[in-house]
């Protein structure tokens, strides 16, 4: 239960910190943090939680990461579903807290997106379903390769949180214009449920593509990272 609670808290922080920066701070008049700031915020949530709870639960914070670690032989199958449930619940609770904060401003409307992920008319840059699918698969694949490599026993000890946090920052810098960056089904669900309508209608992609990308990433790393000794 400690592991599941840690995943709940960690994913709560990821959504509150990452999506919160997008909703509350990205376009704040005069001092908005913009795309670069939001990208860094997501990376910092993973970096800080990796040091805070990594020794408790492994700090997955993401159903796709849990699936990828399982496929990579790093995570037991009997904990997979509880981890995914804890992550998703943490994200939904964080979305609720963010909703309560954001709606404290006169005129706020979740119809503006509420940091939800989308494609087509709901992509920040107007990118198609195909572009969104490719982006989410490839970005999640690379994320899993970074995670599996940085946490390999042969990698320098103690630096994994930095590599993983910066990796997620880079992923956001690349893909926010395309899908608003998911690579995390829990993160997508945590805000989409409060928007409803198009956000929940398009949510399927942000479960399917990250999980497919995670499985690909696990396969690639098992091939390139296998011990040749």
How high is the mean pLDDT of the chain? 95
Task: Name the CATH code of domain 2-224 (choices 1.20.1080.10, 3.30.70.3280, 1.10.150.110, 3.40.190.10).
Answer: 1.20.1080.10
Tens-digit pLDDT profile for residues 121-159: 999 999 999 999 999 999 999 999 999 999 998 988 889
Q: What is the pLDDT of residue 219?
A: 96
Q: What is the pLDDT of residue 53?
A: 96
Q: What is the pLDDT of residue 113?
A: 81
- Annotate 82-111 with b (16+ C-beta within 10 A) or e (fewer): ebbebbbbbbbbbbeebbeebeeeeeeebe
Tens-digit pLDDT profile for residues 159-186: 999 999 999 999 999 999 999 999 999 9
Structure token digits, residue 174: 């690349």
Structure token digits, residue 202: 């398009």
Over residues 96-119, mean pLDDT: 92
Mean pLDDT is lowest, of 39-43, 94-98, 103-107, for: 103-107
Which residues have C-beta within 8 Å of that of residue 36, sequence separation ≥ 6?
173
Name the residue ranges covered by the structural domains of the chain.
2-224
Q: What is the pLDDT of residue 228?
A: 55
* 229: pLDDT strictly greater than 70: no
* 225: pLDDT strictly greater than 90: no
């Amino acid at each position: 239960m400690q592991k599941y609670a840690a995943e709940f808290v960690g994913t709560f922080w990821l959504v509150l910190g990452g999506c919160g920066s997008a909703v509350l701070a990205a376009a704040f008049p005069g001092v908005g943090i913009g795309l670069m700031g939001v990208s860094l915020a997501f990376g910092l949530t993973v970096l800080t939680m990796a040091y805070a709870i990594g020794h408790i639960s492994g700090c997955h914070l993401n159903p796709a990461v849990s699936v990828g670690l399982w496929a990579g032989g790093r995570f037991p199958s009997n904990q997979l579903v509880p981890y995914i449930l804890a992550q998703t619940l943490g994200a939904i609770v964080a979305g609720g807290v963010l909703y309560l904060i954001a709606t404290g401003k006169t005129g706020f409307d979740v119809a503006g997106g509420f940091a939800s992920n989308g494609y087509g008319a709901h992509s920040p840059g107007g990118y198609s379903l195909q572009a969104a699918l490719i982006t989410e698969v490839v970005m999640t694949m690379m994320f899993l390769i970074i995670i599996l490599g940085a946490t390999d026993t042969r990698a320098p000890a103690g630096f994994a949180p930095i590599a993983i946090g910066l990796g997620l920052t880079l992923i956001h810098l690349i893909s926010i214009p395309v899908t608003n960056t998911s690579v995390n089904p829990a993160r997508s669900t945590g805000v989409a449920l409060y928007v409803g309508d198009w956000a929940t209608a398009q949510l399927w992609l942000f479960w399917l593509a990250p999980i497919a990308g995670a499985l690909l990433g696990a396969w690639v790393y098992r091939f390139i990272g296998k011990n040749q000794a």
